[in-house]
Chain A
Amino acid sequence: MRRGITMLEILVAAAVLAIGLLGALEVVARSAATSRRVEDHARAMLFARSKMDEILKEPLLQVGTDRGEGVDTGTDYDWEASIEQSQHPTLMLITVVARNRVTSEQVVLTMLRRPDLNPPTETGTTTGTGTTGTESPSPTGAGGATL
């Protein structure tokens, strides 16, 4: 008599199939998560570049750090910015970090710039005359990035 397939065998086969499916599902889920991270990274990059331009618009950079949250409801990013002296004596190093509030995925952007875009003032002549010192285009207190 030919033996049919027992229930146990069917169950085992089903279990094997289920494990296989689960594996395939895992691959799909992982690739979905990866592509979401890539998208997230691209968005964070735009956010960071926008923030960087916000700092670069200032004619005068001052050493310091600042942080904040995305200004709009649509952004999920926190940012941190720092301005410090770079290894190059005449250039400042600007670092912007954008971090996704939900996934804490982060993007770091750095840039070098002259601290002062106004032309260098000949301090010798202005202090020498003493009369037009206030017209010096590089005020120390006012202006500059508020960092």
Chain B
Amino acid sequence: MEHAADPDLVRDAKRGDEAAFTSLLRPLLEPAYRLAAGMLQDRQLAEDAVQEAAVKAWQKIHRLREGTAMRPWFFGIVANQCRTTRRGRWWSVLKTGAEQRGAESPDEEAVRGIDLRNALKRLRPEQRLVVVLYFYLDLPLEEIATITKASFAAVRGRLYRGIRELKADFPITEVQA
């Protein structure tokens, strides 16, 4: 589980110290961007979402309670921003619709990649969020539960359902170590 944010930095940030806030934020931007990219599957949208989330975090920093870890709190804001982005840009549903395989037969690995990407897109947003946090950001389920404000059981259920939906669309090859 993530450690609590530096209390001195949090206190200074709450007083309006931008440098303290950016110190808290800096180590989180790279994984936050990966989270947004995984959710939105679009670099520009991901960049915008993280920037927007950072501004919202600044506006809400007074709500960060003492002893609370910064990472799940900020990732929760990023996840919400991704949802807002998806809702606001309705046309992106068309844009991010399932990719077609090319007329020419690509190699098997490329096909599997397209299939998996399409399967990820088809996941419900709450399932995709859990899948991205667990498999792409390698976060523990406890922290994912904090980020998603869901119970441990709900997160576990979403993850299993997400995996099952991915498996239904994408045959996973058992790889021997």
A binds B: no
Interface residues of B (CB under 8 A from A): none
